[in-house]
Structures are given as C-alpha cells and as structure tokens.
Chains A and B, each alone.
Chain A
Amino acid sequence: MNKGVNRRTLGTSLLRLGFILIALVVVLFPYLWVLLSSLKSPAQLSRPGDLLFEPILNNWIAVLTAEIPQNFLNSLFVGCATVAISLLVGTPAAYAIGRHRAGGRLTRFGILTSELMPPAVLVVPLFAISFFLHINGSLLAVAASHLTFVLPVVTWFLIGFFEAVPNELEEQALVDGYGRFAAFRKVVLPQVLPGVAAAGIFGFVLSWNDLFYALILAGGQTKTLPVAIAGYNTFRGVELGEMSVAILVAVIPVLVLSFFIQKRLVRGIGGGGLKY
C-alpha cells in the first residue's frame, strides 16, 4: 500500500518535472535560435538544420555600424522622457488616490480605462493633432503618444503600493511636527520607493516595446527600435542574420530589466483592487 502511494507520487513528480522542462524548452528555444542566427552567414541561414557552423560576427558589425544605434538612442530617449513625466505626475496622484481616496471611483475608472484603451482609438486624433502642431515625425509626438498609456499604467501601478503603507506611519510623522508635504516626502515616499522603481521600469518596458504609435508617428530620422526591426521585414534571406542582431539589441535590455520587477508586478497590475 505504502509502496503504491510512493510510486504514484514519484510518477506525478516526474510528470511535473517533464512539464516544467517542456515549458522551459518552448520558452528558451526561440531566444537560442535567434542568437545562433545572428552568428550565421546567409549561406548557413538557408540550411537551418545544420547545427555545426562557424560563427561569424559580420551581422553584428553590419548592424552596429548602421542606423540601429541611433534607433536605440531614440527608443531610450522616448522611454526615459515618458517615464520621467509619468513618475512626476503619477506619483503624487497615486498617493492622493491610494491614501486619501481622492477623486473616488470615477477617477480610478478613468485611469483604468486610459490604461487599457485600444491605441487604434487614439492614434487617429494624435496623428492629426501632431500634423497641425507640426510635430509629426518627431520624437516629441512619439513620447506624447506613449504617455497616453504609460502615465495611467504607472499611476495605477503605484496606487497599490501607497495603499500598503500603514496609516500610523504618516500620522506619527504629522504628530512629530512634519507638514503634509514633508510627511509625504520624508516618510511615505521612502516606503514606496521600490514600487516607484518597479513602476518606472514597467512603464519604460511598455514604451520601449511599442510599435503601433511609433510606426505611425515617427519619421525617417526618429524611428524607434521596434520600427527599425519591422523594417527588416522584407524577408530576403540576406537580411535574416542582421534582423536577428537587431532583435537581440531590442530584447536583451528589457529582459535584463524585467528580472528586477517580476516580484512587484502583481501588486502593480492589481492597482490596490486585487486581493490575493
């Protein structure tokens, strides 16, 4: 009897392990393949079955001496500008909403709606407006469009973190003679700093990954990385290697960043409303 149970638990353990291993292979295989492809010559790329090949750096050199570094800087600029404004505007708002229930349900609803709104609705007017303001094709237009989703995401993200700060802390600070603003800055803010960092990184990743707005609003000189990558879309065999390099250039930074925020993501997505 006991033996039977043991055999069964061993069986399920193996099954679990197998399932996890399959999932890991499915997740990691595409990364590995792109990495390998970035080191292949065009001739080798046309024979994907060959596992042994002599790695070359031609693709990397070609991509890194072309426009990709400029695209990288464009994306970096847009991401940083968007996140900076979002944190500056969103943090006090999240504090007011999370701690003092400012604005009530309607404000929360508005933030959630802006966060999840399909870009298809906003892109037409944003395009027309930037056309009239003569900023179409500029990084400014792209950054403004990214603000439409990064700002609400960051604010929503932070509400949960402000709600988690115990009330007593702030009250104590007020008793100790701090003003409201000083209490916010010196006592509450340090408590939520990890959340602020996570929200900023999350917002940056969202901005970095956007293709839709950038494709429509950016111009020839102001292409962001996703737009540049989409440009390799011609799919002539020759460009496959270079495309792989460009993909890695775009993906590696966000993957590295993602490891820092995974633990805080759930609370951020819940926006203080998700009890788990």
Chain B
Amino acid sequence: MLPLLLVLGAIVAYPLGYSLWLSLRDYEILQSTDVSFVGLEQYTQLFSDRDYLAAMRNTFVFVAVAVSLELVIGLALALTLRRQRFVRNLTRSLLLTPMFVTPIAVGLMFRFLLDDQLGVIPQLLDKVGVSIPFFNTQLALFSLALIDVWQWTPFMLLLLLAGLESLPEQPFEAARVDGASAWMTFTRVTLPLLRPIIVVAVLIRSLDALKVFEYVFAITQGGPGTATETIQFHVYRTGFQFYRLSEAAAMAWTLMIVVMAIIVVLFWQFTKGQE
C-alpha cells in the first residue's frame, strides 16, 4: 500500500496543498516576481464577483435539474427493464452506452442535432409547428441539463437495476398477500428498500455533475451572457484564458468545500453497510 500513498501524495496531496497556498496569494503567471501574500482576500473578493456568483448558481441549478430528472427516468427504466425478458441483455447494453461516450463528443453531437439551422430536431419540430430556441438565455442551461440526462441516466439505471435485482423476495410476497396495490408496493416496499442505493447514486451523480465542463465548452462557452457559465468553466476561463491563477485556485477551493461535504455523507453511506 505504500506505493499508493507515495504516488497519491505526490500527484494529489502536494498539488492540493500547493493550490491552497496559491489561493492565499496574488499570483498571475505573467508576473511571477510579484507574489505577495494576501490572506483571504481572493476569497472575500469572490463574494462580490458577479460572474463567480452566477457560475455557482448556474452550477447548482444544473445539478438539481439534471440529477433529479436522471433519478426519475432511471428509476422508471429500471422498474420496466426488470420485468423484461425478450433480448434482455442487448437492450441493457445498448441503453448503458451513453455513459461511456466522450463527453465533448456528446456536447458537439447535440450542438448540431439541436442547431436552429442545421439541426434535425428543430426541423422535425418545425414540421409540427413547434419552434424551441434551445440555446437562448432562458433555455440554454436547461438544454445542457437535458444533454446531461441523455448521457448519465444510464448510470442511475445501472445502479438502480442492480439494486432492484438484489432486493429480497420476502417483503414483496408479504405485500402481495396483504393485497397491496402496485403503487402501494412501490412506495411502501420498493422505495424504502432501495433507499441506500438511491442515496449513493444521487450523491455520486451530483458530485460528477458539479464538474460539468464539456457541454458548456462545446456548445455555449458560458453564454448567452453568463446564462450557462458553470463553475468549472469559470475556473478554466479565469485561470487559463486570463491567467489569474490565484483567483482560479480560490474559486476551485470554494467548490472543493461543497464537494467535501457531499463526500463525507457518501462515505458514511458506504461504510454504514459494513459494520
């Protein structure tokens, strides 16, 4: 195990500390001679930085919309697929594929499927008299969340299906004997039994969705205005287009605090089952 700790120490822990150090300074790569210690100034400035606040808000809206849709659709699909027999394995394998596709490719695919001039989906909608401006100020963030739903519902499906298939038979027998309706069985038996795996799936997915970058990069570049500026994209812009490294590091650390809180809950869920 020692090699693991050494390698992780070198490539994760050391940069992590370095990033914290950077975030307390005033470092821009083009003026590396002037690296004064500014304490928490980078952090306090963030709270009056409108773009940063917009990016944080957008990210949380994105995560909330995407993950809740993924949970609902994933659960519905899992319940449906559990009963399926005909070409069962093929269906499952195909439905799981999106989660393996390179996210930037997913972003570009949907960018041109949804494009208002070249896209086939707006053209089809046009034929039935509907026109949806997918990437305008109001809808862009929501459209990006839908793309996330396309790519990551399979992840929910994978975990929930495994969870469903490992549930004990007995409580369901009991419910049947008691004459419970399908809906009652679902809300009173299936959901409570499935709760641990739902919690884990939602937490992992939320952590992952917080990092959303590729769709923004591929499609909207944060626009229109700051409507789809997400935090990871904002860090990229600040750090690597404007080279304000300390500011970017400080932003990243505020995200890290949120992430750590979620990981603590997740870890607690993981280890609870072991004792």
Contact = CB atoms under 8 A, between A and B. Distances in A.
B178 to A, nearest CB: 18
A254 B104 CA distance: 14
A93 B256 CA distance: 26
A216 B237 CA distance: 11
A27 interface: yes
A217 B122 CA distance: 37
Interface of A is mostly: helix
A148 B110 contact: no
Interface string B68-102: 00000000110011011000000111111110111
Interface in A249-276: 250-251, 254-255, 257-259, 262, 265-266, 269-276
Contacts of A16: 80, 83-84
Interface stretch (B136-144, B183-191, B203-211): B203-211
A34 B245 CA distance: 38
Given A118-B255, A124-B19, A262-B158, A28 B271 contact: no
A82 B162 CA distance: 29
Given A23-B77, A250-B102, A273-B270, A119 B211 contact: yes
A19 B80 contact: yes
Contacts of A142: none
A222 B273 CA distance: 45
A20 B249 contact: no
Contacts of B202: none
A205 interface: yes
B101 A251 contact: yes
Contacts of A240: 112, 118
Contacts of B93: 259, 262
Given A208-B102, A229-B102, A276-B166, A107 B1 contact: yes
A126 interface: yes
Interface residues of B, number: 91
A96 B119 contact: no
Interface string A35-66: 00100000001101100000000000000000
Contacts of A20: 77, 80-81, 84, 91
A226 B235 CA distance: 19
Nearest to A46: B118
Interface residues of A, number: 93
Interface string B6-23: 011001101110110010
B40 interface: no
Given A112-B263, A155-B4, A121 B255 contact: yes
A30 B110 contact: yes
Nearest to B6: A89
Interface string B113-128: 1010111100100000
A11 B17 CA distance: 60
Interface centre among B8, B97, B118, B120 (most CB of A within 10 A): B8
B256 A121 contact: yes
Nearest to B214: A211
A5 interface: no
Interface in B205-262: 207-208, 210-211, 213-214, 217-218, 231-232, 235-236, 239-240, 245, 248-249, 251-253, 255-256, 259-260
Given A110-B8, A120-B235, A128-B18, A247 B105 contact: yes
Given A114-B12, A122-B15, A259-B93, A212 B236 contact: yes
B94 A28 contact: yes
A84 interface: no
A97 B8 CA distance: 15
Contact of B22 (A28, A108, A125, A237): A125
Interface string A191-231: 00000000000000100110110011000000001100110
Interface of A: 16, 19-20, 23-24, 26-28, 30, 33-34, 37, 45-46, 48-49, 85, 88-90, 92-93, 96-97, 102-103, 105, 107-114, 116-129, 131, 144-145, 147-148, 151-152, 155, 205, 208-209, 211-212, 215-216, 225-226, 229-230, 232-233, 235, 237, 240, 243, 247, 250-251, 254-255, 257-259, 262, 265-266, 269-276
10 contacts: A24-B91, A116-B204, A118-B256, A125-B22, A128-B245, A147-B7, A212-B236, A226-B214, A250-B105, A274-B197
Given A19-B77, A120-B235, A212-B211, 7 more contacts: A20-B77, A93-B4, A108-B267, A112-B270, A118-B232, A127-B245, A255-B97
